[in-house]
Structure 1
Amino acid sequence: MSVTIDIAGLPAERIVFAPSPLAELCMALHALAQPSHHPRLTSWTTATAAALDPDLADRLLEADFMWRSSFSDLFMAFAGTPGGSGRPAATLAGELDVLDRMDDEQFVMAALEHCWLALYNVGGGPSPLTDPGARARALEAAAARGPRQLAFSVRLLDDTAGVRVWMRRLLEDCDAAFFAETWKRIEPGQSADARHKAEVLRRKGLPAALKEVSSALSVDEALTTVTADKMVNGSTTATDPRIGSGLVLVPTNFGWPHLLVLHAPGWRPVIHYPLGSPAPASAPGSVELLQLRMEALAHPMRMRLCRSLARAPYTTSELAAVYGITAPEVSRHLAVLKRAGLMHTRRQGRYVQHQLDLTAVARIGSDFIEGILR
């Protein structure tokens, strides 16, 4: 599973690294709404949540489906507003101005993105602003998130202009309450990272730059397709003439373990990558490898074999004798474990001994969490 970005023919100068204060505010709101996703931020989320004005905290709950379980494309408005630079603005106010220039239909579709996930990769579909059936489906999806979210969605559809004013005021109040101070502290590091990776891109090329961004990113030898290893399938292009060509990579201090790829039709692609990710040596494997390992351990007989292999090295014949199955059957099960990278094999004279790689097995839990959150 992966999200791919077509970059065939894209000039190198159209691949840019730049911080986005609005995208980072979205990640900060997500961290406040889902602190269990971000154990590294416990001190910040605890202190910030405790200091929030109760009225602001209540207002945040009304629209939290835009950052709690998914990340609304509204927070990367620079990528979807025709006629713009296609890059983040330097200030939150500047990015909110870009958001204000987005037309109502695009604003509503992005705000209610969770209602249209089935259409996300293909685009199209009637607008809930004008189509009664689309409106009903949008409100039904919102109702599943709770009464506050339903009420907000009704307001959004009935008074789009009013909600847009309300939304900007909400984000400005968040800026005054906690984000301005936070952004002042983290922006220099993000800008330095963006400059560094841009220099790596210039001097060493895209493969080297992507390797520094995340182990979950790669590009083919022909430099035509960027692939993000994620538990979702999707595709987009960085050369769409309707919106303008370009690929933007945006750093985030609040993002880990999430690696976000904006791939909505009609929007320029954006990769929102976390700073301070684990070093490549300790980074999780691919989604395919994780699935292979979980399937390998799911078989009842292989689970039983692992009970012995976790304790000491065993030969195939020893395992066959212990579990009452044939040596070829044991070999087939061991081959599955070996292909999944869960077993060590070594030769001792004329004997071949097998042992479970406990470190690899122990990583499965954290790999699974990082994989589904990535």
Structure 2
Amino acid sequence: MSVDIDITGLRRERITVVPSPLAELGMALHALAEPGHHPGLQGWATTVIAGLDSHLADRMCEADFLWRTTFSDLFLPCAGIPGRDALPGATLGEELDLQDKLSDEQFVDAALEFTCAPPYSAPGPAALTDAGTRRRALELAAARGPQQLRFTERLLADPPRIRAWLRQFLQDCDEAFFADTWSRVRHQLAADARHKTDLLRRRGLAEALASVSSAVMVDEAAGRITVDKLDKNHTATIDGGLLLVPTSLGWPHLMVLHRYGWQPVLHYPVSSPELAAPPSVEQLTLRMTALSHPVRMRMCRSLARSAFTTGELAQVHGMTAPEISRHLSALKKAGLLTTRRRGRYVLHQLDVTVVARLGSDFLEGILR
């Protein structure tokens, strides 16, 4: 399960690392809508929400589907500009001008991405021009409640009006709280962009992307970047450039914009509370599966307290040595055990630090 980016023939100078104030505003709105996704930002979110006037707070709920699930590609409009090589603007105003350059079809399809499931990584009929797609969009919106339906009806009936509404809303968010947030994080993002650019120039793409996340892998011989995600397999093709956009508010999300016809973008967090590299989705699945078995859960209770031999575990749990060995093998394969030899005996013990990390690892795995 992954998102792949085909980089065959991509020249180094077409890879750009650059911050985006609009993308960071999108992450800010997401963190405010889903503070549970971002435990490290709960203090910031509480302060911002407490300071919002009621009118802006109501407007924030009106179209929160654009940023609650993750966030809409509308927050990276440079990727949709024809030519597929545009860059984010230096200011929020410049980025909103780029958003204005998207066609109505691009705007509507991006706005309906998470709630009405139009085609994403392949060409397909647009909701504005195809009656069947439009009807399905309204049906799916209705299933999500009257507020979603009203907004979708307005969006499909009068895209320019909704576009103007969204631009004014984002400007009001900037005035209310984001300008201050951006002034504090933009230097960190700029420094990270310079660091990644320097790595790219001096040490190559593989090392630069390894510094982004251990979930991003490069096979330059095959011309492919692979991002480990709990998702269906998707492949994006680069006709223009590749954008890497850092975010200070984004952990645990590692997002890949791979919309058909748009420039691919890797939107990555510059820091996380982790002390070690996260496991792959496959490794996380192995760990969750291993721990879900009731016998292995009981064994873990013993192994968390002390080291045991296979024979000792068999005696404690009233099972045969081969049965215990099979369960130990599953736990070891999942990377949950440490083993050491004492004379002719092999002692097994639960790696408590790995198990303790599963909460944040699971969160990152499903939200990556």
Q: TM-score range by the shorter chain?
A: over 0.9
How does 1:131-210 map onto structure 2 within 5 Å?
131-210=130-209
How does 1:1-374 map onto structure 2 within 5 Å?
1-83=1-83, 85-117=85-117, 119-124=119-124, 126-222=125-221, 224-240=223-239, 245-278=240-273, 282-374=276-368
Deviates more, 1:30-39 or 1:142-151: 142-151
Post-superposition offset of 1:313: 1.6
Letter in 2 for 1:164: R
Letter in 1 for 2:133: A
What SS does the aligned partner of 1:282 have? coil
Post-superposition offset of 1:35: 1.5
- Superposed CA deviations along residues 163-207 of structure 1, whole A, max 9, x for unmatched, are 111111111111122222322232222112111210111001111
Letter in 2 for 1:339: K
Tell me the distance in 2 between the aligned counterparts of 1:246 and 1:84: 6
What SS does the aligned partner of 1:151 have? helix
Q: Which runs of 4 or more aligned residues in structure 1 lie more than 6 Å from their structure 2 counterparts after TM superposition?
A: none
How many residues align? The count is 368
What SS does the aligned partner of 2:290 have? helix
Name the % identity.
61
* Contact kept? 1:31, 1:38, Cα under 8 Å: yes
* Contact kept? 2:339, 2:347, Cα under 8 Å: yes
- Superposed CA deviations along residues 1-25 of structure 1, whole A, max 9, x for unmatched, are 2211111110001111001111111
Post-superposition offset of 1:84: 6.4
Tell me the distance in 1 between the aligned counterparts of 2:10 and 2:187: 29
Tell me the distance in 2 between the aligned counterparts of 1:166 and 1:118: 22
Post-superposition offset of 1:86: 2.1
Letter in 2 for 1:252: T
Specify whether residues 296 and 358 from structure 1 end up closer, same or farther in structure 2 by C-alpha distance, changes over 3 A only.
same
Specify whether residues 162 and 358 from structure 1 end up closer, same or farther in structure 2 by C-alpha distance, changes over 3 A only.
same
What SS does the aligned partner of 1:90 have? coil
What are the ranges of 5 or more consecutive residues in structure 2 without an aligned counterpart? none
Letter in 2 for 1:268: Q
Tell me the distance in 2 between the aligned counterparts of 1:57 and 1:235: 36
Letter in 1 for 2:80: G
* Contact kept? 2:84, 2:241, Cα under 8 Å: no
